[in-house]
Amino acid sequence: MKKESVIIIAEAGVNHNGSLENAFRLVDAAVDAGVDYVKFQTFKASNLVSIKAKKAEYQIENTKNSTESQLQMLQKLELSEDDHEKIFAYCNSKSIKFFSTAFDLDSLEYLSKIGLDMVKIPSGEITNLPYLKRAASLFKKAIISTGMATLSEIEDAVAVFVKHGVTKENITILHCNTEYPTPMKDVNLLAMLHLGKEFKTSIGYSDHTLGIEVPIAAVALGAVMIEKHFTLDKNMEGPDHKASLEPAELKAMTLAIRNIELAILGSGQKTPSESEKKNIAIARKSIVAKININKGDIFSEKNLTVKRPGDGISPMKWDDFMGKIAMDDFEADDLIR
């Protein structure tokens, strides 16, 4: 039984395309969807990639630019500290939690400085020991995304946080596949449960599939955190728009997750719910007179049958009445009392 709501993180990422106005509109969409966090990405492009780093295939396809380097692409998507502070303030004014993923050491320091107490380790940094050490020393809580990672790599990353005093109670491991979009055949959602058993931490799912069904399924399996990219318009030019939800889809996913939460609450014991008890008499059946029966007649299949309503003697007592003597007169369809 879940006692706390699933944490839903709406990943705006770099889908603002470098525009502060778009960032505010993304915050508004996240608020309207009813999510818990709206998350951006914090990086200094020159610290993140070298000038020689090539773009991923999906980045080339989605930006429609094969000659641009990854550095050039990211420089256009970088948010300044002033941008961050304006977005942070805007989130506060809209009563939604601001969050961001740092992709370099300076960005980790900055997010800690502005008051974040939780760090998100992106899949690409799970094997970056200097980054992990700095993150573990700065933040009390950690979310670790595990796209592309082996079990031993995840174990090494978790060990860094534990060594620096971050308890497993404050670590959430997100199952993830780092392909945009992720093919359904590669989701391997049951691996999320394996991570929980292996590391004894909270588990969640960071989704890059198209649509909303996989995050919903993850919640049904026990995810306590869902992260999903969203955008203002999938047709915008940029690396992540195509694999993101539009605002209406984000809202539909959030509603579905909240409904799933309600559906899996309860004692876990099979017993009639309060809402359905009133329907027992209407939906079930009782033993009734098939024809007119006189006092002294012998009950048999010829003069008894089973019909609604179910507020008489249960048909499970059928055999008890066969061959017994009627103690009263009954008209056809009368409940046998």
Give the domains, in start order, of the chain with CATH numbers.
Answer: 7-264 (3.20.20.70), 274-321 (no CATH)
**Strands laid side by side in the 202-207 sheet:** 97-102, 37-42, 7-13, 225-229, 202-207, 171-176, 141-145, 118-121
Q: Is the pLDDT of residue 333 over 90?
A: yes
Cα–Cα distance, 292 to 209 (Å, whole number): 65
Amino acid, single-letter form, for residue 174: L
Mean pLDDT of 59-87: 90
Per the rule left: phi > 0, alpha: psi between -120 and 50, beta: everything else, 277 is alpha
Q: Is the pLDDT of residue 258 over 50?
A: yes
pLDDT, residue 4, reads 82
- Phi, psi dihedrals of residue 331, rounded to the nearest 5°: -90, 160
End-to-end C-alpha distance for the chain, whole angstroms: 42
Confidence of residue 1 (pLDDT cuts 50, 70, 90): very low
Cα–Cα distance, 271 to 257 (Å, whole number): 24
Question: Over the stretch 141-188, which tens digit does the pLDDT of each residue have?
Answer: 999 999 999 999 999 999 999 999 999 999 999 999 999 999 999 999
pLDDT, residue 57, reads 85
pTM of the model: 0.89
Distance of CA 279 to the CA centre of its chain: 33
Confidence of residue 265 (pLDDT cuts 50, 70, 90): confident
Report the mean per-residue pLDDT for the chain.
96
Structural tokens at position 82: 């002033």
Cα–Cα distance, 17 to 64 (Å, whole number): 14
pLDDT, residue 3, reads 58
Q: Is the pLDDT of residue 192 over 70?
A: yes
Mean pLDDT of 286-296: 98
Mapping DSSP onto H, E and C, the string for the chain reads CCCCCCEEEEEEECCCCCCHHHHHHHHHHHHHHCCCEEEEEECCHHHHCCCCCCCCHHHHHHHCCCCCCHHHHHHCCCCCHHHHHHHHHHHHHCCCEEEEEECCHHHHHHHHHCCCCEEEECHHHCCCHHHHHHHHHHCCEEEEECCCCCHHHHHHHHHHHHHCCCCHHHEEEEEECCCCCCCHHHCCCHHHHHHHHHHCCEEEEEECCCCCHHHHHHHHHCCCEEEEEECCCCCCCCCCHHHCECHHHHHHHHHHHHHHHHHHCCCCCCCCCHHHHCCHHHHCCEEEECCCECCCCECCCCCEEEECCCCCCCHHHHHHHCCCECCCCECCCCECC
Interhelix angle for 129-138 vs 105-113, to 10°? 10
Amino acid, single-letter form, for residue 232: L
Confidence of residue 60 (pLDDT cuts 50, 70, 90): confident
Confidence of residue 196 (pLDDT cuts 50, 70, 90): very high
Farthest-apart Cα atoms in the chain, separation: 101
Q: Is the pLDDT of residue 324 over 70?
A: yes
Confidence of residue 92 (pLDDT cuts 50, 70, 90): very high
pLDDT, residue 2, reads 45
Mean pLDDT of 87-108: 98
